[in-house]
Amino acid sequence: MIIKRTKKSDALSSEITSHSSYLNRRQFLGQSAAVGLAAASLPAQAIQTHEASRNKNNGPAWLKQQVAAAKETAWGKDETLTPYSNVTQYNNFYEFGTSKEDPYRYASKFKADPWSVEIDGECEVKGTFTLEDILSQVDLEERIYRLRCVEAWSMVIPWIGFELSSLLKRFKPLSSAKYVEFTTLHDPKQMPGQRSVFSTIDWPYVEGLRMDEAMNPLTLMAVGLYGEVLPNQNGAPFRLVVPWKYGFKSIKSIVKIRFVEEMPKTTWVDLAPHEYGFYANVNPQVDHPRWSQARERRLPSGLFKPNRIETQMFNGYEEEVASLYSGMNLRKFY
Ligand code: MTE
C-alpha cells in the first residue's frame, strides 16, 4: 500500500469532535429525522462539520430510520473521535482510486441501493438476501472503535452496525466451515479503480476471517457511521469492521459471503504475501518489511502536530481477542 505524506488538508486538532458533542448532535439528528426537520435547523457546529464533507449517500428511508434508531453502547465511550471530515475524506477504497481523496471524489454517484448479498458454501441456508431482509433480523447499535491501517495511521470511528455472528448463525454454518470469505462488488462501470490499466489488484477485492474470528463479539458489520447511513466512500451500504486487525481486513461494499473449508485467497496476501498476512493482527512488535509498526499517526495530524502515538497489541483489544491466538507464533502468522 502506498504511504502518503501528511497533507495540509488534514483537519486541525481543534476540530476534534468530543464524544459528548457528537452524542448531542446525534440526538439532534435523530430528532430531526423523526420530525422531518431541515438541516438548516442544526446547530452551527454540526452544519459546519457536515457541510464540509456532506454524506453523498443518503440511502433509502427505511435504512436511514433504522440507523438513526441505533442503540448507544459503552464501546469506546472515552475515546476522542476522529472528525467526520477525516473519516469521510481520507479513505482507502482502491475501487475508486489509490489516493486518499479519490473515494470521496469518485464514489458520490455509486449506487448502493438496492443491494443484496449472496450466501454460499458450507452452510445449510444459502441464497441471495436483500439488505432490507438482512437488517430486519438484527438490532443496530453504535460502537466506537479504533481503526489502525497497516500504513501506520489510525482513526476512532463511531460505527453503526451489528455483530457479524448474529448474521452468520442465520445461515447455519456446517462444521466443515472453517473460514468465512467476503467479496466486494465487481462493477468496473461504477468503480474507476477496477477499470484502471494501472491497477495491480485482481478484482474483486476479497477478504477472509477464521470462523472463530468471524464469530467473535467484537466483529461488526457496519451500515452507518456518525449516526448516518454509511457514505459510499466508507463502503456503503454494508462493510466489515474488525478493529483488532489492520484496516485492510475491513472489506467494503460486500456482495458475497461464503463459508469455506480452506483459508481464502485474499487480495493483499495474493498481491504481496511477504508484506501482508492473512491474520493481519495489529502487532507493534512485527514490523512491515518497509516500515515500523511500533507507532501510528492518529488523525487528525499535521506537519507541526504529527499526533504520533504508540501502537497497542491487537489495537488495544487484547482482552477480547488474545485467546483466539494462544499458542500461535504471531511473527510467523502475521
Ligand atoms: N475494501 C475494499 N473493497 N477496497 C479497499 O481498497 N481498503 C481497506 C479497507 N477495506 C479497501 C477495503 C483498507 S487498506 C483500509 S485501511 C480500510 O478499508 C479503510 O476504511 P475507511 O476508508 O472507511 O477508513
Most distant CA pair in the chain: distance in Å?
56
| 20 pLDDT above the threshold of 70 | no
CATH of 29-325, one of 2.120.10.90, 3.90.420.10, 3.40.190.10, 3.40.50.300: 3.90.420.10
| pTM exceeding 0.85 | yes
Cα–Cα dist 47/318, whole Å? 37
The answer to which of 31-40, 79-88, 93-102 has the lowest mean pLDDT is 31-40
Give 235-238's long-range contacts (Cβ < 8 A, gap of 24+): 235/93, 236/57, 236/59, 236/110, 236/112, 237/57, 237/59, 237/63, 237/112, 237/113, 237/115, 237/131, 238/115, 238/117, 238/131, 238/134
Confidence of residue 30 (pLDDT cuts 50, 70, 90): very low
Domain range annotation of the chain = 29-325
How do 141-148 and 127-130 pair as beta strands? Answer: unpaired
Q: What is the mean pLDDT of the chain?
A: 88
In 3-state terms, what secondary structure has residue 222? Answer: strand
Ligand 1 center–CA 89 separation, angstroms: 12
* Ligand 1 pocket test, candidate residues 248, 254, 269, 299, most atoms within 8 A of CB: 248
Specify the length of the chain in residues: 334
| 175 pLDDT above the threshold of 90 | yes
Confidence of residue 42 (pLDDT cuts 50, 70, 90): very low
pLDDT digits (tens, 9 = 90+) for 238-272: 999 999 999 999 999 999 999 999 999 999 999 99
Exposure b/e, 301-314, CB count within 10 A at least 16 = b: bbeeeebeeebbbb
| Three cell numbers, residue 64 | 436511514
Cα–Cα dist 108/191, whole Å? 11
| 40 pLDDT above the threshold of 70 | no
Nearest atom (ligand 1) to Cα of 90: 22
**248 CB near ligand 1 (under 6 Å):** yes
Higher pLDDT, 17 or 237: 237
**239 CB near ligand 1 (under 6 Å):** no
pLDDT digits (tens, 9 = 90+) for 193-233: 999 999 999 999 999 999 999 999 999 999 999 999 999 99
